[in-house]
Amino acid sequence: MGIMVLLSLLRAHVAIALLAGTAAAGLAGSMAPWKIIVRFGAGLSSGASIAINYALLGAFACALARSGLAEWALRHILKNLGEEMDRRCATRCRLKILFALGALALLCKSLVPVHIAFIPIMVPPLLEPMGRLRIDRRAVACILVFGLVISYVAIPIGFGTIFLKNILIQNLSACGLSISLWTALKAVTIPSACAAIGLAVALTVSYGRPRTYAHVAAGAIPRRRPCAEPLRRKLIPALASMPIVLAVQLLSGNNLAAGMLAGLLFLLASGALGPTEIGSAMVEGVRSMASIAAVMVIAGGFAAVLRDSGGIESLTGAMGSALCGNGPLAAAIMLCTGTAIAFTIGSSFATIPIVSAVYVPLCASLGFSQAATAAIVACSAIPGDPASPLSNTTLGATSGLAADGHFEHMADCVLPSALHCALPLLVGGWIAAMVL
């Protein structure tokens, strides 16, 4: 694990770092090279369902984008904002923009699982009205990051299904800890509440004061012309496909792939998109999600070799002896270490298979409950997503807010989201480990 983290810190590709860490773990455990390869291959198969889910998620997201749904929503947001600003109700306009973006961030990883694809479409046209309203873009970055993170942490739909069911519960079960979805949700409730408090602080205290962007006041950003009204034959089926996806997913035992496939078939059968458009959406969606899915699949192989190397038992024994049964200290160390790993990898999803292999037996030796163990494992990985400059979440938020070149990725996005989302999640994870 140390080699994997070191290579990640040296900016090596995550896949290369994981492969090097796999080889080092196997050789350190006196495993024969052929056995390392066999066990690594067996671990890869555990991520096959995750890869399929990601591919279909990307395809459905691209299909919705082709329907014109985002442009339709943007047109109505801008129209309403114009009416409000004519009446000089600046406070209501600020709240409307923040609420709309927060709701979109929550929806776009749950009920409408398009991930960060909505940000480059929806956010740049809002930069001019946000500038005239003197909205601090750091507050917008915090609300976008919060919505994108909490949507998969606390809502077991869409990406939440992948994180809670296919990654967290599945990896805990592989390490000998079988928990229900209800236990997993209970484990992340307190951290989610702490993140909500952090967002409230960001919106009211840290970045609640008006902030002037001189280039906006000078009119350097042109107004976006109203986008064309999407054809009704595309818009109505796109709206109808979302409850269909949710219904099929729930009726099939929370099977995300079945829901996405049903949505794609409905768009095809309704005539909203033709076979050629569906095919190109599939290709584009698979391409957009391929790198994320590949990292998580490789992480599954790494975790399998790490478990079979025999080093986990000695490591957990040594840590347990060093901590002398000090649960609060152990929880804090595990949370900070896991966050550091997620920070270097840039993916909380890919961190779960890595840390669960070590943390589950360690938590058992220290007497943590099932829910507390789930909270430690989950909150060891989740804070890395809003705190890492390499994560899709922070990069996605910056891609929209920096469209005019007046937004810094580290200073205006990563640092604010780390302080107001990642840090509260860490604190919430520690509290959950103590009380559950």
Q: Which of 243, 241, 246 has its CA nearest to residue 157?
A: 246
Give pTM, 2 decimals.
0.77
**Per-residue pLDDT, 430:** 94
DSSP one-letter string for 139-172: HHHHHHHHHHHHHHHH--STHHIIIIIIIIIHHH
Model confidence over 158-179: pLDDT tens digits? 788 888 888 899 889 888 888 8
Measured from the Cβ of residue 303, the count of other Cβ atoms closer than 10 Å reads 28
Model confidence over 86-128: pLDDT tens digits? 555 677 778 888 888 888 888 877 777 677 767 777 788 788 8
Percent of the chain with pLDDT over 70: 74
**Per-residue pLDDT, 200:** 93
414 DSSP 8-state letter: I
**Per-residue pLDDT, 226:** 45
**Per-residue pLDDT, 416:** 92
**Per-residue pLDDT, 273:** 76
Contact in structure between 309 and 39 (CB atoms under 8 Å): no
**Per-residue pLDDT, 88:** 58
What residues in the chain have per-residue pLDDT under 50? 217-230
**Cβ neighbours of residue 61 closer than 8 Å, sequence gap 6 or more:** 113, 114, 115, 117, 285, 288
**Per-residue pLDDT, 218:** 40
